[in-house]
């Protein structure tokens, strides 16, 4: 004669099944959060590498004397993070550039030095969730290799966002306006002898939950690099 389940056995079986299901869903949630956190970090790292690639390509071949930096107290921003507010610099950087490094007519036939024909500006805005822009200003015929003498006026006129594409600023036109990041926390530029030290901080746009504890945390990625300027002829 077959014996069925008692009410007590059925209740115990359901309880064990529910407990096992809760453990399984807890593990799945932990894995999802860890995967999401890793994906966000990989995205920030890729963005960071792209910014550093632009900086190295522009700065390694510019002139030391053309470097201009807008810094100071007004260019600092307080950003709220999960660990508390942080005060980070948002500098502006300007230097000479060249539209085409492979064109022969862009070089002086006697000295072989570049005939600089544009100014490059790296501009961090002042919003808490910041952005970093790369702006090309031109055309410039034989740009001053001592630096753009209107950069301080530019910085005062555009302390936050750069002017729009095609805008005329002090006789120069915005030829290109590129947003390199919309996850900027800090952008600090310091001259070190004939080199430039760049400190770049990126952070995730929305806080994520710690997979272990469940509390919200801000993910910050910081790098500090020294860029050697090779063109020291001026």
The confidence score (pLDDT) of residue 28 equals 59
**Cβ-contact 64, 234 below 8 angstroms:** yes
User: DSSP E strands: which ranges in 61-124?
Assistant: 68-70, 76-81, 84-89, 92-97, 118-124
CA distance 125 to 75: 9
Element (H, E) at 222: strand 220-228
**Cβ-contact 51, 93 below 8 angstroms:** no
**Cβ-contact 71, 186 below 8 angstroms:** no
Q: Phi and psi at residue 162, in whole multiples of 5°?
A: -75, 160
Name the token pair of 16: 């064990």
Long-range contacts from 167-172, C-beta under 8 angstroms, 24+ separation: 169/137, 172/119, 172/137, 172/138, 172/139, 172/140
Which DSSP symbol is given to 119? E
Of 226, 191, 52, the residue nearest 132 (C-alpha):
52
What residue spans define the domains of the chain? Answer: 21-228
DSSP 142-201: S--TT--TTHHHHHHH-SSSPPPTT-EETTEEEEEEEEEEEEEEEEEEEEETTEEEEEEE
pLDDT in tens, the chain (234 residues): 556 557 666 677 777 767 766 766 666 555 556 545 566 667 888 899 999 999 999 999 898 888 999 998 899 999 988 888 999 999 999 999 988 888 888 888 887 788 888 999 999 999 998 999 999 998 776 655 678 889 999 999 999 999 999 999 988 999 999 999 999 999 999 988 778 999 999 998 555 555 555 556 778 899 999 999 877 554
Q: Is 170 left (phi over 0), alpha (psi -120 to 50) or beta?
A: left
* Model confidence pTM above 0.95: no
CA distance 83 to 85: 7
**Cβ-contact 190, 197 below 8 angstroms:** yes
The confidence score (pLDDT) of residue 137 equals 92
């Amino acid at each position: 004669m077959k014996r069925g389940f008692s009410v007590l056995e059925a209740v115990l079986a359901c309880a064990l099944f529910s407990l096992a299901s809760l453990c399984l869903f807890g593990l799945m949630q932990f894995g999802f959060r860890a995967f999401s956190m890793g994906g966000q970090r990989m995205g920030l790292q890729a963005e960071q590498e792209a910014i550093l690639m632009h900086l190295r390509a522009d700065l390694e071949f510019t002139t030391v004397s053309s470097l201009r930096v807008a810094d100071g107290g007004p260019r600092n921003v307080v950003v709220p993070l999960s660990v508390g507010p942080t005060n980070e610099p948002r500098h502006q950087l300007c230097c000479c550039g060249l539209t085409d490094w492979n064109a022969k007519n862009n070089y002086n036939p006697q000295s072989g030095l570049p005939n600089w024909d544009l100014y490059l500006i790296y501009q961090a805005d002042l919003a808490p969730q910041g952005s970093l822009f790369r702006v090309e200003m031109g055309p410039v015929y034989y740009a001053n290799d001592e630096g753009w003498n209107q950069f301080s006026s530019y910085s005062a006129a555009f302390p936050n966002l750069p002017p729009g594409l095609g805008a005329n600023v002090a006789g120069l036109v915005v030829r290109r306006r590129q947003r390199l990041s919309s996850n900027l926390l800090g952008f600090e530029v310091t001259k070190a002898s004939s080199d430039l030290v760049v400190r770049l901080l990126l952070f995730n746009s929305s806080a994520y939950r710690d997979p272990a504890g469940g509390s919200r945390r801000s993910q910050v990625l910081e790098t500090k690099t020294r860029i050697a300027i090779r063109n020291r002829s001026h």
